[in-house]
């Protein structure tokens, strides 16, 4: 399989007064195209920081990060923004919708930065919102939508530019079980089309049910890596 994203001995340190916090401390991982990866760990394990590094939302203190064999650590901010906009779709636990834009306008927004014509943006936004069963809520603002509906708008927005990768940070964390299951169903459909999903979660049930590869993190390091082989999980590292 093709390696889509690779981290080589990546470290992310923060200075907190006289202390240095080692949020990510020497992490290496290879994420193959078409995989469904979960980054697991308790609060403070470094999993969300690791996802931000994978998604080029943050730069490493040390180490190298490759996306499609391109070392993104040496790109400037405008180049990074183009990489993020074209290749990666983000789903955040807090949804991160813009409250003064409608559901449709929120989904259209990422396409604006890729210079897509307005008519094409509107058409694609309508199709995506219909796909996540919100065709009748396109003109609603985020405050007029339930948490589950907001998360589905966030999924539609993440798919706006037809990304190769979706990064999902605790995508079911603020949702009830039924809505969470629906969100995971959408992520599985995306993955079954051959695309890549990287999900951060603290919930082992979600990871074990949906992922194909799990990176287990603690204290900024990867403790072990497990892969699903058929119906069984096999430890491949740690």
pLDDT digits (tens, 9 = 90+) for 10-25: 999 999 889 999 999 9
Structure confidence at residue 178 (pLDDT) = 85
Tell me the average pLDDT of the chain: 92
User: In 3-state terms, what secondary structure has residue 184?
Assistant: helix
* Domain residue ranges of the chain, discontinuous segments joined by +: 3-96+164-237
Q: Fold for domain 3-96+164-237?
A: Rossmann fold (3.40.50)
pTM: 0.89
Label residues 129-156 b or e (16+ Cβ within 10 Å = b): beebebeebbebbbeebeebbbbbbbbb
pLDDT level of residue 72 (50, 70, 90 thresholds):
confident
Express the helix, strand and coil content of the chain in percent, nearest 5 each. 35, 30, 30
Give the span between the Cα atoms of 155 and 134, in whole angstroms.
11
pLDDT level of residue 171 (50, 70, 90 thresholds):
confident
């Amino acid at each position: 399989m093709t390696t889509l994203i690779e981290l080589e001995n990546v470290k992310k340190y923060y200075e907190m007064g006289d202390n240095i916090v080692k949020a990510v401390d020497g992490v290496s991982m290879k994420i193959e195209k078409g995989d469904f990866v979960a980054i697991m760990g308790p609060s403070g394990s470094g999993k969300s920081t690791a996802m931000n590094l994978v998604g080029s939302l943050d730069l490493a203190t040390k180490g190298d990060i490759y996306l499609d064999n391109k070392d993104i650590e040496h790109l400037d901010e405008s180049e990074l923004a183009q990489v993020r906009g074209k290749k990666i779709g983000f789903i955040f636990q807090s949804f991160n919708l813009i409250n003064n834009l409608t559901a449709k306008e929120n989904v259209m927004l990422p396409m604006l930065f890729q210079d897509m014509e307005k008519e094409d943006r509107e058409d694609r936004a309508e199709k995506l919102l219909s796909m996540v069963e919100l065709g009748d809520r396109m003109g609603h603002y985020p405050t007029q939508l339930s948490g589950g509906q907001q998360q589905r708008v966030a999924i539609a927005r993440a798919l706006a530019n037809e990304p190769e990768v979706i990064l999902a940070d605790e995508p079911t964390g603020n949702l009830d079980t039924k809505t969470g299951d629906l969100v995971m169903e959408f992520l599985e459909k995306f993955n079954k089309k051959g695309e890549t999903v990287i999900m951060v979660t603290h919930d082992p049930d979600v990871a074990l049910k949906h992922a194909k590869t799990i990176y287990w993190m603690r204290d900024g390091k990867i403790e072990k890596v497990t892969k699903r082989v058929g119906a069984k999980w096999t430890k491949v590292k740690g």
